[in-house]
Structure 1
Amino acid sequence: MAVSLSDFTSPGAGAAAVALITYLLTRPRMRAEARKLEAESERTRAETAKLLAESATQPTSDAGSSDLPKGWRLTGARPEDYDFGLDSQVHRSGTASAYIRARPNAREFGSLVQSFRADDYVGKRVKLSTVMRAKNVAGYAAMWLRVDAGESSVAFENTQSESRRLSGTSGWVRREIVLEVPPEGEKIVFGAFLSGDGCVWIDSFVFEVVGDDVPLTKEPEQAPQTHPVNLDFTQGVN
């Protein structure tokens, strides 16, 4: 059947054509936005996975580790993008602090790490605390504590949440983690890390066994909803 020009210029056909053209023009943008959201979500999942799986067990040859504190080693997704060492001028107690400083165009994160056997701590509640100081941190700095059993992590917590991380410039700030060491725990791993530009100093870690009266610091997981809510979007924002 032949189609005349008037078929496209009629009101109904014109509206349909406009709708079709609008859809075709906006579809690539919608796809791009969806890919961007998916990439951001994947990056967040990847950062957490990298912390859970210690990605390096020995100092990286390209990292600035000539002044690495005794008993500590380097890890992280990109330890070669960071300098590590001791600072005898900036410290809160003792004679020095450890620092992590980003090199130009630093990627991912770099971390100071230490580990030891969990034998004396299984079944107990432990607390790791320290004081940290930040300067021009564009991303964030945080501390972390993990318990491993073989190749798996059986307990893990860090302070990279919005309310506990360090960013920008700050004086000495106390941070702590309290968690329970599961009976199957074999190794305890802990440290501090920097993600992005800037510098962070870490002064005097303290690791101790505490009683059950000391509350756990892990933020509680949100309970799953039992029914749908705000289906008409009239209840504002969180």
Structure 2
Amino acid sequence: MAVSLSNIISSGVGGAAVALITYLTTRPRMRAEARKLDAEAERTRAETAKLLAESATQPTSEFDTADLPKGWHVTGGRTEDYTYGLDSHVHQSGTASAFIRARPSPRDFGGLIQSFQADNYTGKRVRLSAVMRTKDVAQQAAIWLRVDARGKYIAFENTSSESRRLGGTSGWVRREIVLDVPPEGEVILLGAFLMGSGCVWIDSFNFEVVRDDVSLTELTDAPQTQPVNLDFTQGLN
């Protein structure tokens, strides 16, 4: 049976219209889902930061301190869901690295922490750096730095932002935090944590005072100084 040219054109126009309508109706939903995922990631980051900021600084009773690197303690939301220790076979420098390894079906996060008096660092800008290696990390691994005064934290940062967190399997990667220690700071705490399944090795921690012209890492994105994409020709975010 012959098909007229007008029918073909009508069919084509109809198909294009359907495709356009489908795109226009599903695009907002896709953008909404993307925003939801971003919000969930930010909420996870905030919850992790809160837990780290409120974690106790004393060793957890169920862990034998002989299994931990000297000077380090265990912290976290579910410390019992992780194991901690030294690995003399996997290290970036020296003779060993510290590791945090998840047990089956881990909850929250587990971490290593140490603290010291802030007297020599108050009013100064400091940098904490370390190298980390990961294997099968489902969620994230990061380092963190915190300043306390009168039993509460007054400055805090970690490397769990989207651009700095580590996940999956990777070789040695350096991460750093540059933070100003408030004049009223009393105690400085630092460490590393693992959230979710997998294993992270941490090596070559370094803590130092830096010049004031060294950029703070919390400000990872430069502030916008002029309008952009006013003619809408630069595509989507």
- Give the structure-1-normalised TM-score: 0.74
- Please state how far the C-alpha of 1:44 moved relative to its aligned partner: 4.9
Cα 1:42–1:95, aligned 2, differ >3 Å: closer, same or farther?
closer
- Give the structure-2-normalised TM-score: 0.74
Aligned counterpart, 1:50: 51
For 1:30-69, what per-residue CA distance to the aligned partner results, in whole angstroms no more than 9, with x for missing partners? Answer: xxx9xx99x9576554322112212x33333445764200
Aligned counterpart, 2:184: 184
Aligned counterpart, 1:99: 99
- Tell me how large the CA RMSD over aligned residues is: 2.9
Determine if contact 1:131/1:174 at 8 Å carries over to the other structure: yes
Alignment of 1:5-154 (within 5 A): 40=40, 44-54=45-55, 56-63=56-63, 66-154=66-154
Cα 1:98–1:223, aligned 2, differ >3 Å: closer, same or farther?
same
Aligned counterpart, 2:12: none
For 1:196-226, what per-residue CA distance to the aligned partner results, in whole angstroms no more than 9, with x for missing partners? Answer: 00000000211111111221111258979xx
Q: How many residues align structurally? A: 199
- Please state how far the C-alpha of 1:71 moved relative to its aligned partner: 0.4
Unaligned ranges ≥5, structure 1: 1-32, 225-229
Aligned counterpart, 1:167: 167
Q: Equivalent pairs: percent with the same residue?
A: 65
Cα 1:42–1:143, aligned 2, differ >3 Å: closer, same or farther?
closer
Unaligned ranges ≥5, structure 2: 1-32, 225-229
- Please state how far the C-alpha of 1:168 moved relative to its aligned partner: 0.3
Matched residue SS, 1:185: coil
Determine if contact 2:45/2:161 at 8 Å carries over to the other structure: no
Tell me the amino acid that sits aligned with residue 162 of structure 2: E
Determine if contact 1:63/1:82 at 8 Å carries over to the other structure: no
